[in-house]
Amino acid sequence: MEQALLKINHLHKTYGDQVILKDFNLEVNKGEVVVIIGPSGCGKSTLLRCINALEDIQGGEVLLDNEPVRKENKNISKMRQKIGMVFQSYDLFPHKTILENILLAPIKVQKRNRSEAEQEALELLKKVGLADRRDDYPRQLSGGQKQRVAIVRALCMHPEILLLDEITAALDPEMVREVLEVVLSLARAGSTMLIVTHEMAFAKAIADRILFLDNGEIVEESNQPKDFFKQPVTDRAKAFLKTFDYE
Ligand SMILES: Nc1ncnc2c1ncn2[C@@H]1O[C@H](COP(=O)(O)OP(=O)(O)OP(=O)(O)O)[C@@H](O)[C@H]1O
Ligand SMILES: [Mg+2]
């Protein structure tokens, strides 16, 4: 059987006395695209933040390539480099150019050779249609363009898995598509991704597997996304999908 790239075993996460994730288990194989959907506050972002140890956890473990990802571990910086993360807000440095934003971590953290990293950054920028913006500053770019830069910045670190948390949530509708196209092409090229999204059509198109979360638990899981969206099994998933009917 194929060895899972990411394994989450019995993860337990609380904030104070509020339980956010209870006995959460998940395996993601290399090349797999797993999409997580669910109501606001059900724990999607918390889950992604636990995966790269941005949160303290109260039980269980996260393994990448069978190695624990834990805040306390000496190798946590190395482990985090294997986990690319893109959020709703792109967090580019305003006083650095697009190219410098992308090169910062590869050069400073990974100690890569500048010209080699630069060549890769430029190739990636070209792939997302932004080669000519390398010397611009973030304020000169649209939201969709900045988000594409944020994706390139994550890719330039050569992550083994990409975690995407509602990366189009802050964008105007006409910019959503250009960002989702980039993510779709990554999926087709075999990237392993864990995606949180409220874009149901996108989820249906890109997912190898859908997880529907509610109250920190996987309520429904399907490796037939089209069937899931057409005919969810649980009442909770049915009720959730109904809220998108106006679209
Ligand atoms: N730093 C924090 N301190 C205390 N509670 C928190 C903190 N971060 C999140 N929570 C709580 O944890 C729960 C899960 O939040 P989370 O952000 O993971 O939800 P989500 O599924 O990503 O929601 P959304 O779709 O709105 O982004 C919520 O009840 C939230 O209020
Ligand atoms: Mg969230």
The answer to whether position 71 is within a domain reads: no
Residue 48 pLDDT > 90, yes or no?
Answer: yes
Whether 154 shows a pLDDT value over 70: the answer reads: yes
Q: Do residues 65 and 241 touch, judged by C-beta distance below 8 A? A: no
Measured from the Cα of 46, ligand 1's closest atom is 18
Tens-place pLDDT, residues 183-208 = 999 999 999 999 999 999 999 999 99
> Is residue 105 predicted with pLDDT exceeding 70?
yes
Under a CB-based contact definition with an 8 Å cutoff, are residues 87 and 167 in contact?
yes
- Please report the pLDDT score of residue 1 as a whole number: 58
- What is the distance in A from the centroid of ligand 2 to the CA of 87? 9
Structure letter (DSSP) for residue 133: G
Ligand whose nearest atom lies closest to the CA of 37: 1
Q: Whose CA is nearest to atom 16 of ligand 1?
A: 43
**Taking 70 as the threshold, does the pLDDT of residue 209 lie above it?**
yes
pLDDT > 90 in the chain, percent: 91
pTM: 0.94
In-domain check, residue 98: yes
Instruction: Look at residue 121 and tell me if it is in a domain.
Output: yes
Overall number of domains in the chain: 1
Q: Which residues line ligand 1 (CB under 6 A)?
A: 15, 20, 40-46
**90 falls in which pLDDT band (50, 70, 90)?**
confident
Domain membership flag for residue 113: yes
Tell me the CA–centroid distance for residue 20 and ligand 1, in Å: 8
Is residue 137 a part of any domain in this protein?
Answer: yes
Q: Within a domain: residue 16?
A: no
Closest CA to 224 of 201, 200, 194, 204: 204
The answer as to whether 143 is a domain residue is: yes
Looking at residue 196, what DSSP letter applies? E
In a domain, 31, yes or no: no
- Ligand 2 centroid–CA 167 distance in Å is 10
Distance 77 CA to ligand 1 centre (A): 25
> How far apart, in whole angstroms, are the C-alpha atoms of residue 247 and residue 243?
9
Is the pLDDT assigned to residue 28 strictly greater than 60? yes
- Going by C-alpha positions, the residue among 192, 90, 19, 209 that lies closest to residue 229 is 209
Note down the domain range covering 118. Answer: 92-158
User: What is the residue-averaged pLDDT of the chain?
Assistant: 95
